Amino acid sequence: MRLWDHLKSGNGYKVRLVLAQLAIPYERVELDIERGETRTPEFLAKNPNGRIPVLEYAPGRFLAESNAIAFYLADGTPLLPDDRLGRAEVLQWMFFEQYSHEPYIATSRHWILTGKAAERRALLDAKREPGYAALGVMERRLRDRAFFVGERYSIADVALYAYTHVAHEGGFDLGGFPRVREWLARVAAQPRHVPITAA
Amino acid sequence: MRLWDHLKSGNGYKVRLVLAQLAIPYERVELDIERGETRTPEFLAKNPNGRIPVLEYAPGRFLAESNAIAFYLADGTPLLPDDRLGRAEVLQWMFFEQYSHEPYIATSRHWILTGKAAERRALLDAKREPGYAALGVMERRLRDRAFFVGERYSIADVALYAYTHVAHEGGFDLGGFPRVREWLARVAAQPRHVPITAA
């Protein structure tokens, strides 16, 4: 398998983490997002939406969207429940991540890491309330459970870990979210865990 | 089953359409989003993220996120492929919908329908380019196929139909997207199709 990726991306990291934990060998291709390498005709032929990560799961066959790739890789493994309801609950938290968490916490981090914080100050400030609201939803969910779905580590945890564990790089303080911090430590202690910068 | 819903919501409509096409009887509970009825303690106990739709699939058991609910309902039916790759491709398009389509096209429509267009003019204007980009990605995908995945109508089509067929209410002109318009007609011609306002 081959992964089109960007090392700083939490979305890319979700796929790297699942590949590592499932001990699937792969070749990684680093793209420079800031230089438009995901908007070339060659890359748009792989993913018309022009975003990493993209997994070439078979020669010339491509799958995009980090959470869809994670679902594909985890299907049939202990990282994804094998019952209909469990799969749907995992998806509930993955869609929560992409709609209610990533656009605030990940985007804030991206702008700060790429030096755009000053020019986008008003937009950045507007992301604080919904970003903290997402963290509050997570804190509430973790009040009486160790993982997001079914008392077992799954790709729902992978999806939410990716940008939550670097939320401070987006200006978010996890001090008021003790359950989230305990859960971050539990996720980092899983077998074959790799950090975000591991290629 | 019971569905917490809002008739004008395309996210709610996805679930209503799947329920109708699978001939699953259900009770619908209309909530007034503008009056904060999704932010009461009673509703937050059902979905801590405070959004419709929420499906009570068994007494006192709740599932949130429109695309996760659609996946749950369609699992094991002709509306969702039964192979691993097909399911992942459906999810790719559903995550595309929630991340790259809904925040621009649906949010523009929501602001216009609720009379907030004037006060949010700059934000609304900023949604036009990414909204049209999402429609462009759809047009490209449909260039050589009838439906989004596997040459068969699936919940990927349901998810993308929900807000695309009312894109004009968000100020988006589908004139330049002939494949998308042909696909909209194909989706609307499916058995047991219901319009967005059907309760």
Contacts A140 to B, Cβ<8 Å? 48
Picking from A72, A76, A92, the nearest residue to B65 by CB comes out as A92
Q: Do A100 and B49 touch (CB under 8 A)?
A: yes
Per-residue pLDDT of chain B (199 residues; tens, 9 = 90+): 999 999 999 999 999 999 999 999 999 999 999 899 999 999 999 999 999 999 999 999 999 999 999 999 999 999 999 999 999 999 999 999 999 999 999 999 999 999 999 999 999 999 999 999 999 999 999 999 999 999 999 999 999 999 999 999 999 999 999 999 999 999 999 999 999 986 6
Contacts A52 to B, Cβ<8 Å? none
Residues 43-82 of B with CB under 8 A from A: 48-49, 57, 63-69, 71-72, 75-76
- Cα–Cα distance list, B38 to A150, A168, B34 (Å): 26, 29, 9
Q: Do B65 and A91 touch (CB under 8 A)?
A: yes
Q: Note the pLDDT of residue A115.
A: 95
Instruction: Calculate the average pLDDT of chain B.
Output: 96
Q: Do A95 and B95 touch (CB under 8 A)?
A: yes
Q: Note the pLDDT of residue B197.
A: 84
Picking from A57, A66, A84, the nearest residue to B72 by CB comes out as A84
Q: Note the pLDDT of residue B92.
A: 98
Contacts B75 to A, Cβ<8 Å? 84, 87-88
* Residues with pLDDT less than 70, chain A: 198-199
What's the ipTM? 0.97
- Cα–Cα distance list, B64 to A95, A122, A140, B52, B186 (Å): 9, 31, 15, 7, 28
With CA atoms as reference, the chain B residue closest to A122 would be: B123
Distance from CA of A2 to the nearest CA of B (A): 16
Domains of chain B with bracketed CATH: 2-74 (3.40.30.10), 84-188 (1.20.1050.10)
HEC profile of chain B:
CEEEECCCCHHHHHHHHHHHHCCCCCEEEECCHHHCCCCCHHHHHHCCCCCCCEEEEECCEEEECHHHHHHHHHCCCCCCCCCHHHHHHHHHHHHHHHHHHHHHHHHHHHHHHCCCCCCCHHHHHHCHHHHHHHHHHHHHHHHHCCCCCCCCCCHHHHHHHHHHCCHHHHCCCHHHCHHHHHHHHHHHCCCCCCCCCCC
**Amino acid sitting at position B60:** G
All residues at 6 or more sequence positions from B54 whose CB lies less than 8 Å from its CB, including other chains: B3, B4, B43, B46, B47, B62, B63, B64
User: For an interface test with B, which of A49, A83, A143, A155 has the most B Cβ atoms less than 10 Å from its Cβ?
Assistant: A49
Q: Note the pLDDT of residue A197.
A: 84
User: For an interface test with A, which of B55, B98, B143 has the most A Cβ atoms less than 10 Å from its Cβ?
Assistant: B98
**Residue B2: other Cβ atoms inside 10 A:** 15
List, for residues B153-199, the tens digit of each pLDDT value: 999 999 999 999 999 999 999 999 999 999 999 999 999 999 998 66
Q: Do B88 and A69 touch (CB under 8 A)?
A: yes
Q: Note the pLDDT of residue B199.
A: 60
Q: Note the pLDDT of residue A199.
A: 61
Picking from B57, B85, B141, the nearest residue to A48 by CB comes out as B141
